Structure formats: C-alpha cells, structure tokens
Amino acid sequence: MKTSLISAPLTLALALCAAPALASEEAETAAAEEQAQPKPEPAPAPPAPPPFAFAKPVFDETWATIGLGVGMVPSYAGSNDYIAFPLPLIAGRVGGVGIAPNGPGFVLDFNSPKPSFVPRKGARLAFGPAFRFRNDRNNRITDEVVARAGKLDAALEVGANVAVSIPNVVKSFDALSIGVQARRDVLGAHEGWVIEPQVGYRALVGKGFTLQAQASMEIVTDRFADYYFTVSPAQAAATGLAQFRADGGVNRIGTTAILAYDLDRNPLNGGWSLTGIGGYSRLIGDSADTPYTSVRGDANQFILGAGVAFTF
C-alpha cells in the first residue's frame, strides 16, 4: 500500500517532466519534416502605386480651368491712380484646341499636343488666333483733369499668335516659349496695330505650386499712339494740359508672374486652387512723354491681384 501511495505522485511528476520533452521532440520532428518538404514560392509583391501626381490626372483630351479674381490696376495706361478690377481666367483644351489667357483676353493653339505624362522631347510650334480687350480711359478715370479730356471707346484687338515651345529647359515638365502676336482693333476705337513679342516660362515649383512668368514688349502704330496719347487742341483747352502729338513705336516693356497653389497639393488632378498675380511694366517713348503720363501720371505701372480657380 505504501508503495502505491508513493508511486502515484512519482508517476505524475515523471509524466509532467516528460511532457515538455515529448512536446519538444514532436516539435523538432515536425520542424525537421517541414524543412524536408519543398517550400512554396512566395507570392510576388504588388507593384508600387504611381506617384501622387499621376494617380488621377485631369489633363486628358478635354479639360478647363475657370477662375475669377480681383486686382489693383492703373486707372488708365499711364495713370498713377489704382482701381480694383475683375481678373477673369480661362485656360484649357477642347477638341484638340488649346486655350490660354492673354491679359484681358485669350489665345487659341491649333497645334495643342495630346496630354503626356512623360517628359516631351523637341520643340513645338504653337499657332492660332489672339484676342485682347482694351478699355483705357473708357470708364472709371479717377484723375479729374484727364477725365475732362473725354472718354475713349473700348477696343477689341484680334490677330494671330505664333510661338515656339521648348520643353524640359531647366527641369522635367517645364516649358520655355518664345513668340509674337500681331493684333488690330476691330471695333473702330484706335484702329491701329499692336505687335507684341513675348517670352514665357512655366513650371511646377515644389509640391502644389505652378509658376508662369512672362516678359513682353508692345510696339504700336501711329493710329494707336495718336488715339491714346495725343493731347489735341480741344483736349488741351478742356484739361489745361499742353498739346502733344504722339507717334507710334515701342509703347511699353514689362513682366508678369502668376503663381497658383493647388489646395490638395496635387496640381495634376484638378480641383480648387488659389492664384496670385504680380506685374510691372514701363511706358516708353511717347506713351511716357504725353502729359497724361508725365504730368498727371507715372510711366511705371504695376498690377497686383489674387483669385480662385477650379480645374476639371
């Protein structure tokens, strides 16, 4: 009886001590069998998603950017008084035709390229009609003396634009353009011609910013200069300014920059963006020498504005 009482705990103790060993042996056996069996090939990793900018591009065959802002601009060309003025914006591509802003107007590109998200190679020729609206001294003339010279009619200048666009000048997806516009008034206001050489640059800057910068020059005919800058005998009598006869030539040189910030920091997927614009130009020749500028205004002209746009 004593033997049976003692042997039971020993048997239980031996069993408890043996269990880990058995488990270990079983585990080692299973591990050995697992190592002996051929292992299946691991599944290939899924491809990495494309960069954020190309996940859902909005720039397909047809796209548009519509915007509206407000800017402080001279009351008239040569004024040193500034007024708030609406700044509309339209750009895009419809039916293979590109649309780009052109001051208070726009230009069309009949050779607009198809969308590409691979950096382009080689220069491209852009050409198409150009439109520009001009309302100098048409309304809101804040200078009382100049206002007595009388209001002028608004002009709509229509002509052609030709430019060479060179991609990847400084970085991928940027573009340098060199071109010229020739426009003539079709509303019977100044009835003259305006020749405007231009150099422009466009690029993505940082994450979410797009920069457009342009330098340009205006060369005008005698009819243009006479309409806007001559002080006739009747106008001299009404204003007290000296008579002045204006001739054509270089009218102004200047530069403008537009900086857009995409609100979701992805300029290529469309949506809302904020836009800022700044510019400086200098009147030259008779446009600077006329009493409307030299006596009552300033040859240095500035523009500053901000707005909001939506791309879809």
Q: What is the DSSP string of 2-37?
A: HHHHHHHHHHHHHHHHHHHHHHHHHHHHHHHHHHHS
Q: What is the pLDDT of residues 145-162, one digit of tens each?
A: 999 999 999 999 999 999
| 268 belongs to a structural domain | yes
Q: What is the pLDDT of residue 59?
A: 78
| Number of compact structural domains in the chain | 1
- The Cα–Cα gap between 159 and 268 comes to 31
Does the pTM exceed 0.85? no
Boundaries of domain holding 203: 69-311
Provide the pLDDT confidence category of residue 54 given band limits of 50, 70 and 90: very low
The answer to the question of residue 147 being in a domain is: yes
Mean per-residue pLDDT of the chain: 85
How many residues does the structure list for the chain?
Answer: 312
- For residue 7, tell me if it sits in a domain: no
Q: Which tokens in the block code for residue 17?
A: 């001590």
More confidently predicted of 188 and 206: 188
Give the pLDDT score at 42. Answer: 56
Cα gap 164→245, rounded to integer Å: 37
Reported as half-sphere exposure (CB side, CA atoms, 13 A), residue 56 has a value of 6
The enclosing domain of 263 has a CATH number of 2.40.230
Give the pLDDT band (50/70/90) at residue 46: low
Grade residue 57 by pLDDT with cuts at 50, 70 and 90. Answer: low
Average pLDDT on 212-233 reads: 98
The encoded tokens of residue 19 equal 């269990």
Q: Would the pLDDT of 18 be above 70?
A: no
Instruction: Give the pLDDT confidence score for residue 45 in this predicted structure.
Output: 53
Residue 237 in domain: yes
Query: Is position 1 within any domain?
Result: no
Per-residue pLDDT, 10 = 32
